[in-house]
Structure 1
Amino acid sequence: MIYCEGSKKVTVTILSPKLTIVVDAPAMVVIGSKADSFTHVMTAPISESYNFFVSSVSMNPPGQTYDNGARVLSCPIPSINGKNISSNFDNYYGDNIGSCSYDVTLQGLSINGVLYPSDDGRFTVSCDDDCPPGKCKCHSDSYPGYCCNDCASTSAKLKAIGDGLRSKQ
C-alpha cells in the first residue's frame, strides 16, 4: 500500500522489534520477503538464526544425502521456530561426511523496496511530522525531535494530576 502521497516524508514505526524508519514520501509499505541460503556440514546439529522471521526452508537441490560412516542418510528438513532454524539428528557426528544445502525465505516489512525485520508485520505510519491517529505529539531531545504519546493515556494522567491538585485546595 502507498502511504503519504503529497507529503515530504513518511515515518514508519515497526512495532516489534521497535524500529523507526524515516523515508521520502510517498512510501510503499508491504509485507515482503527475501531469499537466503546456507550449506551445513553434517558434523553438528543445524542451528541457524536470523534477524528476520523465517517463513520457509527447503533443501536445494532436493534429495541430498550425507554419509555417517555406516550408511547414507537423507539430509533432514530443519524445523522453523520464528527466527531460528534447527535440526537434531544422527548422534555420531564425528563419523559424518558431507554437507546439505538449504534455501530459506525470510519475511519482514518492505519499505520502498528495503526489507526491515518485523516479528509480526504490525506497524504505524505518519506523514511529515505528524503522529499516527490516537497519538499526541510532544517535544523530545532525541531524534526526530518529537515523540508520539498515547492521547487517551496522557489525558487520563493529566486529569488525575488536576483532580489531585483540586482535592488539596
Structure 2
Amino acid sequence: MPIYCTEKKTATIFFQRENGTKGQLIVSPAPVEIVCLQSNNQGKYIFTLAASGSNPDCSGDNGYQFGGDRIADSYQLGRLIPNYTSFGCSVQEIIFYPSGQTDVVHPVQYRISQRNNPDYNPSEGIQVKDGIGKVVFKEFGIKCNWVVSCDDDCPEGSHKCTHNKYPGYCCVPCKETGDRLKNIANKVGR
C-alpha cells in the first residue's frame, strides 16, 4: 500500500473519475496511504432463498427453511421438473443471473427475499487514510491512476508556476506542455 508525503504537512491527491471529471483532495496531516479498491460486480443483490418442506399432497407444510443466499443481479423461474422421489411433486428451477447458478426448489412453494449487496462495486475506486490512519476519503468510480503532491510542491513531471488565483500557483504538466510546443513549432516551421 503506497504511502506518500512522509515528513510533510499536507498531501494533495489529484484523481479522475470514470465519467471524466477531475477531483482534488487535500489531506492534513500527512503522510497519506492510498489504496486502489478493486471492482466487485458479482451481483447487485443478495437473494435469500427459503423453501417449504414436503407433504404427500405437494402443498408444502409452510415451514420455510433457509436455503442460503445467492448473489446475483436478477433471477428467473425456470422449468418445472417432475420429481418421483417426493410423492410425485414437481420441483421448480430458479436461475440466478449473471452467474447462471441454478437452484432447484422442492416442492413448488418457496420464498425469495431480496436486499442490496453492500459489497457491490461495478468499478474500481480509491481509499485514502490520513497520517493517523483514519479513512478520510473512499469513493468508487475513480480510476486508480492518481497523482500526489506534498506540501506546496507540484507532482513529479510538472512545473510550478505562479498564479493570481488560490493557492497562488499552478502545476503545469511538462510532457503535455512540451508536446504542445513541439506541435506549434512543427506548424510554424512548415
Shorter chain as normaliser: what TM range? Answer: 0.5 to 0.7
Partner AA of 2:6 in structure 1: E
Name the residue aligned to 1:29.
34
Name the residue aligned to 1:135.
158
- Give the secondary structure class of the aligned counterpart of 1:20: strand
Name the residue aligned to 1:13.
14
Distance 2:180 2:162 in 1: 17
- Give the secondary structure class of the aligned counterpart of 2:117: strand
Q: Computing the radius of gyration over CA atoms, which structure comes out larger, 1 or 2? A: 2
How far is 1:102 from its partner? 3.4
Q: 1:88 to 1:4 in 2, by over 3 A?
A: same
Partner AA of 2:34 in structure 1: V
Distance 2:140 2:161 in 1: 27
TM-score, scaled to structure 2: 0.50
Partner AA of 1:9 in structure 2: T
How far is 1:127 from its partner? 0.8
- Give the secondary structure class of the aligned counterpart of 2:118: strand
Partner AA of 1:22 in structure 2: I
Name the residue aligned to 1:111.
128
Distance 1:145 1:56 in 2: 46
Structure 2 stretches of 5 or more lacking a match?
A: 52-67, 78-110, 130-134
Q: Aligned pair count?
A: 134
Q: Over residues 118-160 of structure 1, what are the superposed CA-to-partner deviations in whole Å (9 max), with x where a residue is unaligned?
A: 4332111111111211112234455544332221332354567
> Which residues in structure 2 correspond to 1:141-152 (within 5 Å)?
141-152=164-175
- Give the secondary structure class of the aligned counterpart of 1:57: coil
How far is 1:12 from its partner? 0.7
Indicate the percent of aligned positions where both proteins have the same amino acid: 29
C-alpha RMSD of matched pairs (Å): 4.2
